[in-house]
Structure 1
Amino acid sequence: MKVHGRVSLIVGWITLFLIGIDLFVVSPLMPFISEAYNTSSAMTGWMITVFAITYAIFAPFFGWLSDKHGRGAYITFGLVLFVISNILTAFAPTFFWLIVSRILVGLSVASIAPLLYAIIGDVAPPNRTGTWLSILASGHLTALWAGAPIGILLEHFLGWRSVFVALALMGTILAVVNHKTWKNNSKSHSTRNLLGGNLLRIFGSVSVTTSWAISMYALYVYLGAALYSENSFSSLEIATAITFYGIGAVIGSLTGGQLTDRFGEKKISKLTLIFLVLILVCLGIFFTSSIWIYFCLFLWALIGYAGFTSYTARLAGEYPNERGSVMAWNMTALYVGITLGSMLGGYVISNWGYTLLPYVCSSAAILSFALSCQQVKETNTKPAETGRG
């Protein structure tokens, strides 16, 4: 059983890494795609927008289905659709079909990513849930900094379309592997109806993630432009700074899981939010320092993603019977927060400049901490069922 669990974790990590590459590789390939379809950069950016919207809408639906009917079949379905949609991306005859392909990718990832978090929460040892979820999350975070170089390298030698062909080939292999891995984990562990008060409880819980995402992405989205404008950083210096951030994110995720298992989900999730408030204030103070900025970015990502991992583990523990739905709503809350954060960041930049952004992010972290302290009572639909919430 231990061996099967570890194999499941490895399969989940590789799968999240692959779909993470698909998400993060689009941005550096945009100039080449724009040239191929004779479109503006703003128009090509809809490739990312339609993906995010589709994911946010459909992830809760697949989470709900997985709680009722099991997770394995939907993960396999998502990977098959992932393969088809990436082939369409590679060979789309017009820009319209290119956008359709990215909508289908968003739909496929909606039935993969949150369900992987849920199923790893299902199979993890009771005292190792945080660690296992943190290892799983590190697959997606590794793609954050590895996706761009891999995509650029393939584009340089084989053209941008080869990137999506490679993703489709890897997706084909992983569809088979995931099917074999999860075929014995297909039965549902829940018969609970998620309508009514319990759904409102879930919304209250995942609002913490929305506020957290604003605190992380209101600045991160504009980080390169901010470093160039305020610090006169070169392209190499900007890449180095973002690398520090990426390394901090991976280490933070892994460390957060271990701390969570040792000291408890609630304690670590709240403590990391307090430290996140403080490091964002320090980031604001030292933002124009060419030396300290690297260390501050590293700490920001380290603490921020340790908090995300610990809160994900907290949700997995508080909602054992609705884990698929909650993980899906949590990922939707994440994307909502990223969208709101980018909008808020743009507004702040337009009116007050880049230097105020860390303090705005710190305020969002304070809100996230306040929401994490709320006590939302569970509405039980069946007296016989008990939970940790």
Structure 2
Amino acid sequence: MGLRGRVSLSVGWVTLFLMGTDLFVVSPLLPFISEAYNVSSAIAGWMVTVFAVTYAIAAPFFGWLSDKNGRRALITFGLVLFFISNILTAFAPSFFLLIVSRILSGLSVASITPLIYAIIGDIAPPNRTGTWLSIVVSGHLTALWAGAPFGTLLEHFLGWRSVFVVMAIIGAMLAIVNFSTWKYTPKSDLTRNPIGGSLLRILGSVSVTTFWAISMYALYVYLGASLYSENGFLSTQIGLAITFYGIGAVLGSLISGQLTDRFGERNISKVTLIFLSLIFICLGIFFSSGDWIYLFLFLWALVGYAGFTSYQARLAVEYPNERGIVMAWNNTALYIGITIGSMVGGYVITKWGYSYLPYVCSIAAVISFALSTQKVEETKKTALSVDR
């Protein structure tokens, strides 16, 4: 890997770490925000909802636009908007403007995250796409167990508004860095109309991610509550469990890149989904087994996020000329799956209790595997050499 490659991966990693922190840090700050604006926690939760909905709607448009006109300008635009939106979040005089700021933030991240994935796929050397994508994906996942806790620590000393000010300043600096870094990246050749048959193929492909997200988040959203209910865990034990999960997610992403480049994107993405379904069954059996749960949470995240990263690499290879829009639709599919997963999880615990959640997640993983066996027609891996 040359100097330019190391710089590109470093910039991509840091940028996605910031995007992940912006996503994950809001939830632990909600009690302080709701108190500041004198609204209930449920109402304050709309900050997360409007962000996710805006992201899911806007990401495919930015992906399509980047395939036609290049990714550099859109990533830079997104980071400038990220700066503006987070400054507005920090100093919004009313809760209405606070919600507007999160809509703008969702719009900004929609023009950054999927395009970083796409641009790394554009510049990765042949047979190294999986490894390169796994590195930048780990930046996003690291925010889960490092970025969000750092934000809560910053809140403790300087207040919740300081968190968004710091993120805004870093976003402004990254706008300059990204504009310089992606100066010599190639443009994609969008040869097919994404409104026609190509879009149907893309939607079929990203449906794998939707069911993967359902399997992962139907349980994860309620993990703390389920550990408290089924194991009697204290807050410190729940925090330790989340740490095991977060470390497993990062390691899974990094290991997946090496395995993907060695054994192929299709093979690793399918094998991990099979193992994921089996791990969920083990989780269901041993969920109340005390300290053993830490091991199974680690394995769950390790295998689950290895599958996500390998499937990202698979999409990058199978759609070389539509990489931007495919990555964007895949991120939209991810958010749709997270939303559906949280709804499914809520229904399951209401009807049958927490102990049934892992088994429902296992079924979703099996469906994701079945969908992953579909083949993308009219796509050749040799097209990568043309794209590069």
TM-score greater than 0.5 by the shorter chain: yes
- The alignment of Structure 1 onto Structure 2 pairs a total of residues equal to 384
Change (3 A) 1:127 1:376: closer
In structure 1, what is the Cα distance between the partners aligned to 2:82 and 2:384?
Answer: 35
1:369 deviates by: 0.5
Partner of 2:367 in structure 1? 367
SS in 2 for 1:356: helix
Equivalent residue for 2:200? Answer: 200
Distance 1:353 1:57 in 2: 33
Query: Which residues in structure 2 correspond to 1:284-303 (within 5 Å)?
Result: 284-303=284-303
Q: Which residue of 1 aligns with 2:96?
A: 96
Structure 2: distance between partners of 1:379 and 1:173: 38
Q: Distance in 2 between matches of 1:149 and 1:260?
A: 31
Q: Given that residues 219 and 358 in structure 1 are in contact (C-alpha distance below 8 angstroms), is that contact kept between their aligned partners in structure 2?
A: yes
Q: Which runs of 5+ in 2 are unaligned?
A: none
Residue 198 of structure 1 contacts residue 379 of structure 1 at CA under 8 Å; is this kept in 2?
no
Q: Residue 164 of structure 1 corresponds to which residue in structure 2?
A: 164
- Partner AA of 1:209 in structure 2: T
The CA deviation string for residues 293-343 of structure 1, in whole angstroms up to 9 with x for no partner, is 100000000000000011110000000000000000000000000000000
1:78 equivalent to 2:81? Answer no
Letter in 2 for 1:242: I
**Which residue is 1:318 aligned to?**
318
The superposition leaves residues 205-237 of structure 1 with CA deviations (integer Å, 9 ceiling, x where unpaired) of 000000100110000000000000111000000
Aligned ranges for residues 209-228 of structure 1 at < 5 Å?
209-228=209-228
CA contact (8 A) 2:192 2:198 kept: no
Shift of 1:374: 1.7
Q: Counterpart of 1:43 in structure 2: which amino acid?
A: I
Preserved contact between residue 69 and residue 186 of structure 1 (Cα < 8 Å): no
Q: CA shift at 1:379, angstroms?
A: 8.6
Question: Contact (CA 8 Å) 2:318, 2:376: kept in 1 or not?
Answer: no
Give the match for residue 259 of structure 2.
259
Correspondences of 1:55-134 after superposition (within 5 Å): 55-134=55-134
Q: State the SS of the aligned residue for 2:361.
A: helix
Report the secondary structure of 2:313's partner residue.
Answer: helix
Matches within 5 A, 1:175-186: 175-185=175-185
Q: Residue type of the partner of 1:360?
A: V
Shift in Å, 1:189: 3.5
Flag structure 1 segments of 5+ consecutive residues without an equivalent: none
Q: Which amino acid aligns with 1:281?
A: I
| 1:165-209 C-alpha deviation (Å, 9 max, x unpaired) | 000110111000000111222634334322211110000000000
TM-score between the two structures when normalised by the length of structure 1: 0.96
Number of the residue aligned with 1:145? 145
Query: Residue in 2 aligned with 1:190?
Result: 190
Per-residue deviation, 1:6: 1.7
AA aligned opposite 1:171: G
- Percent of matched pairs sharing the same residue: 76
Does the 8 Å CA contact 1:72/1:186 hold for their aligned counterparts? no
Match of 2:243 in 1: 243
The aligned residue for residue 50 of structure 2 is 50
Match of 2:173 in 1: 173
Q: CA 1:288/1:304 → structure 2, altered by over 3 Å: closer, same or farther?
A: same
1:37 is matched by which residue type in structure 2?
Y
* 1:26 matches 2:26: yes
**What are the Cα deviations for residues 40-70 of structure 1, in whole angstroms up to 9, with x where unaligned?**
0000000000000000000000000000000
User: Is the Cα contact below 8 Å between 2:221 and 2:342 reproduced in 1?
Assistant: yes
1 CA distance for matches of 2:127 and 2:377? Answer: 24
Question: Would you say the 8 A contact 2:76–2:178 is kept in 1?
Answer: yes
Amino acid at match of 2:195: L
One-letter amino acid matched to 1:127: N
Report the CA distance between 1:376 and its aligned residue. Answer: 4.2
Contact 1:131–1:260 (Cα < 8 Å) also in 2:
yes
